[in-house]
Amino acid sequence: MLDIKVTKTTAPKPKPDQDHLGFGSFYTDHMFLMDYDEGQGWHSARIEPYHPLQLDPAAMVLHYAQESFEGMKAYRTAEGQVQLFRPEKNGERLQSTHQRLCIPAIPVEDFVQAVKALVDVDRDWVPSAPGTSLYLRPFTIATEAQLGVKVSSSYQFLVIASPSGAYYAEGLDPVKIYVEDEYVRAAPGGTGAIKCGGNYAASLAGQQKAHQMGYSQVLWLDGIHRKYVEEVGSMNCFFKIDGVVRTAPCAGTVLPGITRMSCIELLRDWGYTVDCDTRLSIQEVMEAAHSGKLEEVFGTGTAAVVSPVGKLYYEGDEVTVGDGGIGPVTQRLYDTLTGIQWGALPDEKGWIVPV
């Protein structure tokens, strides 16, 4: 249990217009911080007014990217309550990221306590307009000033919060996806299965190329054969082919998404066959599209929620998914998940944690 010292701001900021939040552009009045020093462990948990960081220019995070992050949201229900969705799963995933990057572990209970404490202090910042939430960004950075490549001896863990609307400008309109066959996001033994900034830096060239070609996101293929579908930059990806729902196995190169695992559970409850163990080749996807068997494609993620995919482009061939609109399974998943998250549907699975 953390002993969190709270210093409140004396100059609260005006709140942004809830109808024009966009994603990740506004920040609340406060932030959570906690330091780690070798020999001392994690210490000095505190909430302070939101402020820029002071870092030594030699801080290791700036050079060698020893960094982890998470993405989660606080939702306001129609009754005005504020709640989180499976926050312990983010805490567990942060631990696996820390382990891979040699960053000292933060106990899951401390992680959840830190997030809850910040949301509580900035409770008024949780927006209430439909589809909006308080996006939370916990992250850890290596702070030791040292240009030799080694494991840092000091870190800072922070949580910042951003009132946000939909991640994609398209909202629930289907997105167009470019299947990347030149650049690679992840390879076995690498960092594809954890949440670290470097994965996203490496994805930018592909994303820029997709944008230039008129597509909003990239679907990454496996790094060895460039054959099997893996994930979209900011979400996991599902394909409904001839009645069966398929998604890439989380076998080392795909991020184990919390929305992904929740969707798999819901789909199985509803009686769908979900295959998340067998790799799916892009050829199978394109053939299914051509033979009319590619019924639905959607992405899942905390920021993106459940986002329909309307078109896929691969090696000169653009196919339309289903009739190009949002499919019934995608819509049902979106309605159910958001219903649970915003409190309009009962939380039968115990996924909700009130703040």
Nearer to ligand COI (CB atom), residue 136 or residue 179: 136
- Rule CB under 6 A: choose which of 71, 138, 299, 310 binds ligand COI: 71
Within residues 112-131, the interface with ligand COI by CB under 6 A covers none
Q: Are 74 and 137 in contact (CB under 8 A)?
A: no
Nearer to ligand COI (CB atom), residue 72 or residue 241: 72
Cβ at position 76, least distance to ligand COI in Å: 18
- Closest residue by Cα to residue 168 from 337, 300, 294: 300
Stretch that binds ligand COI, among 125-133, 183-191, 301-309, 316-324 (CB under 6 A): 301-309
Nearer to ligand COI (CB atom), residue 28 or residue 302: 302
Query: Is residue 299 a contact point for ligand COI (CB under 6 A)?
Result: no
- Closest residue by Cα to residue 26 from 179, 132, 169, 148: 132
Q: Are 47 and 32 in contact (CB under 8 A)?
A: yes
Amino acid at 54: Q
- How many CA atoms lie less than 13 Å away from 64 in the CB half-sphere? 17
Cβ at position 85, least distance to ligand COI in Å: 11
**Rounded to whole angstroms, how far apart are CA atoms 354 and 347?**
11
Q: Are 103 and 66 in contact (CB under 8 A)?
A: yes
Cβ at position 12, least distance to ligand COI in Å: 26
Q: Are 93 and 8 in contact (CB under 8 A)?
A: no
- Rule CB under 6 A: choose which of 146, 236, 302, 341 binds ligand COI: 302
Within residues 177-236, the interface with ligand COI by CB under 6 A covers 200, 234
Stretch that binds ligand COI, among 5-13, 266-274, 298-306, 335-343 (CB under 6 A): 298-306
Query: Is residue 303 a contact point for ligand COI (CB under 6 A)?
Result: yes
Position with the least CB separation from ligand COI: 71
Amino acid at 112: V
Within residues 135-174, the interface with ligand COI by CB under 6 A covers none
Residues 6+ apart with CB under 8 A from 181: 221, 226, 314, 315
Query: Is residue 301 a contact point for ligand COI (CB under 6 A)?
Result: yes
Q: Are 29 and 50 in contact (CB under 8 A)?
A: yes
Binding-site ranges for ligand COI (CB under 6 A): 71, 200, 234, 301-303
